Structures are given as C-alpha cells and as structure tokens.
Amino acid sequence: MPAAYHAVRAEELLLKADRALNEGDDMRLAAVYLAAAHVHAALAAIPPATPVVKVSEEQVPQTPGLLAVEDVAEQLGVPVKTVYTWRTRGTGPRGIRVGKHVRYRQSEIDFWLDSQADGA
C-alpha cells in the first residue's frame, strides 16, 4: 500500500487512541496501539522516495557518438516532431533513452536509412 494510505491510517488511529484514553477504555486502547504498531511497521518498510533532480538542457551531458533528436532531424531534413512520431510508432531509427532524453547512434541512423532504400 502507498505511504499516503498508511499516513492517513496512522492519523485515524491516533484519534481513536485519544478517544479510548479519554473514555478510560483500556481494551480498546490496547487494540488501537496494536493496530498502530502494524501501521508503523508498514511505514518503516516503505523505502524513502528517490528525490527528483531537475536539470536544464545545458546540464545534460553530451555523450560522444550520440546524437540528439534535433541533430537527427537536421541530418535527415525532417521536422523534430517527425522523429518523435517515428519513435512512437516504431518506424524510425532505434533510439536510446538517456534519462528523459532520447539519443541516437549514427550507425543506427545509417542502418535505418539503408533499410529505407528503394527495393529494400
């Protein structure tokens, strides 16, 4: 279960424990404490979220030998949107995911171009 669920459940248990304590109901208080222990254990088992680091385009390292979508579009003489459409449909050169970016090997572009030749 997600951490948010357990957090809400823990909040509910705190309210129940407070009511049981105010009413002097020791049995209900013990049951609430037991349930709280289970929620606490479940929360402890959830790994902490990986922090999201936002980077600008300038901060993305340029990998030697890999081309950006814009480079591929320029090389092939097509709009950038066309390269993305090819990727979505699986009809263009094979790309590589580098984080949230797509990069292309020149060899993949050459191979794809050869496969597009007339009579292929």
pLDDT digits (tens, 9 = 90+) for 39-58: 667 766 766 665 655 656 56
Domain range list for the chain: 3-45, 58-115
Q: What is the mean pLDDT of residues 62-70?
A: 82
Q: What is the mean pLDDT of residues 97-116?
A: 90
What is the pLDDT of the chain when averaged over all its residues? 78
Quickly name the fold that domain 58-115 has.
Multidrug-efflux Transporter Regulator; Chain: A; Domain 2 (1.10.1660)
pLDDT score, position 109: 92
pLDDT at residue 72 is higher than 90: yes
User: Residue 38: CB partners within 8 Å, gap ≥ 6?
Assistant: none
